[in-house]
Amino acid sequence: MLSEAFPALRAQHPGELQLEELPELRNFVVVDNQEVHRAELDKLQIKGKLDWREIMIWREAVKEAKAVNDLMRELGKDDVVNLQFTSGTTGSPKAVSLTHSNLLNNGFSIGRSMNFSEKDILCNVPPLFHCFGLVLGNLAAWTHAACVVYPSEIYDPPAIVDAVTQERCTALHGVPTHFLGVLAEVDKRRKEGQQMDFGSLRTGIAAGSPVPIDLMKSLIERLGLKELTNAYGMTETSPVSFQTTPADPIIKRVETVGKVQPHVRAKLIDLEGKVVPVGTSGEVCVAGYLLQKGYWGDEAQTKAVMKKDEEGTLWMHTGDEGIMDEEGYLKIVGRIKDIIIRGGENLFPVQIENALTAHPEIREAAAVAVPDPKYGEVVGAWIVREPGTNVSRDEVRRSVAASMNPQVRLL
């Protein structure tokens, strides 16, 4: 694709690329771990490409090492090292400009919250092009001398279970979908009579999207993740701003995203920008070292979400709705734009989804707003049943009504 878009790549030499459309580009490095595409690439005859193995430095007394040292002296901690694309829940993808200081410090802080050490082995499931796999995974482990295991090139529950049991992993990362797949694979193998030992597991992170309370409890009870942590953040904040720790009470670790991380400030504000009282919902705003430099080449979008207060502090307005308790623990209850307003009452999708997934026959759930002529909006829900079950609509309605505000009436 690149060679078709920029034909000059085929004729120019590595390190000397000069493309008018990409004036800063000098090298084009190809990673093909299993060499499955080597013949296909060779046919393209791209002189400008470099095999990733050619840039590895195995000895210090070579010219490449000197070149790297020269380059390092030119770098600063606030230089942009990563353009991480994100679109949140709306809009076109935006390139988040993250620095060495952003990412390295965030990774270190995350690993410290998990008590990572050289004795740990992390099964890193999320993709490495995502902040989860890159920072919560690689950097959190490497900054504490921990080992990292990649179970497969793409998401594969059987490979994850094999990696954890065979490599004796002590930590497991994933988003709810990842963990649901792992639990389903474990159930399948146990029904087949297989014996699996998860005794090495102790910690990990469940994050990336709201984690149902029932799922957190299942991971702790069924996989032995006694020190499992919950984390909250966004790409623009490197990404983690709140995280639980093993020292937190179990109820806080399953029902909240923990307290604000060290060297990070947070506040919850109303529509007028005023800080809301404890126990009241408001937009989560974050400040500190972890803020991005801005959206690459998009000043308007940057100014829309990154704003200074009267004291001159720069805040990232996350667009997420949260509630903070007296001890500083944060609950994320939804996106501001996703709040369902039924007859003037604010209903939070995450709380409804937690009520749904608490039912033993419901695996996944998503609550949405549905237009209504009388109430303006009412609650609708999509659910995924557990395999082999057949929970009815009426039973789902009764289950939610029994555990939530009477205003929450499902369609």
Question: What pLDDT score was predicted for residue 88?
Answer: 57
Q: Is the peptide bond prior to 239 cis by the omega test (within 30 degrees of 0)?
A: yes
151-189 pLDDT tens trace? 998 999 999 999 999 999 999 999 998 999 999 999 999
DSSP 8-state code for residue 337: G
Per-residue pLDDT band for 407 (boundaries 50, 70, 90) equals low
One-letter amino acid for residue 123 of the chain: C
Same domain, 100 and 10: no
Range of the domain at 110: 81-261+324-334
Per-residue pLDDT band for 321 (boundaries 50, 70, 90) equals very high
Domain tally, the chain? 3
Same domain, 145 and 27: no
225-239 pLDDT tens trace? 999 999 999 999 999
- How far are the Cα atoms of 16, 23, 367, 390 from residue 384, in angstroms, in the given order? 53, 49, 12, 10
- Tell me: pLDDT of 292 over 90: yes
- Average pLDDT of every residue of the chain: 91
- Tell me: pLDDT of 31 over 80: yes
Output the CA torsion sign for 249, 250, 255, 260: positive
Of 51-60, 139-148, 219-228, 342-351, the one with minimum mean pLDDT is 51-60
Same domain, 234 and 108: yes
Determine if residue 262 is left, alpha or beta; phi over 0 gives left, psi from -120 to 50 gives alpha, anything else beta.
Answer: beta
Instruction: Specify if 30 maps to a domain.
Output: yes
308, 334, 360 - which closes a domain = 334
Instruction: Specify if 288 maps to a domain.
Output: no
Mean pLDDT of 290-303: 96
Mean pLDDT of 377-388: 92
Instruction: Specify if 93 maps to a domain.
Output: yes
Mean pLDDT of 302-322: 96
Same domain, 146 and 160: yes
DSSP 110-169: HHHHTT--TT-EEE--S-TTSHIIIIIIIIHHHTTT-EEE---SS--HHHHHHHHHHTT-
- Tell me: pLDDT of 90 over 60: no
Query: CA triplet 123, 125, 130: central angle to 5 degrees?
Result: 130
Same domain, 127 and 233: yes
316 against 333, higher pLDDT? 316
- The Cα 103–Cα 111 span in angstroms is 12
What is the three-class DSSP state of 354? Answer: helix
- The Cα 323–Cα 340 span in angstroms is 16
Question: What pLDDT score was predicted for residue 356?
Answer: 94
Same domain, 186 and 208: yes
E strand spans, 180-329: 203-206, 227-233, 240-243, 259-260, 264-269, 282-288, 294-295, 306-308, 314-324
- What is the widest separation between alpha-carbon atoms in the chain? 77
Question: What pLDDT score was predicted for residue 406?
Answer: 60
Per-residue pLDDT band for 139 (boundaries 50, 70, 90) equals very high
Same domain, 98 and 190: yes
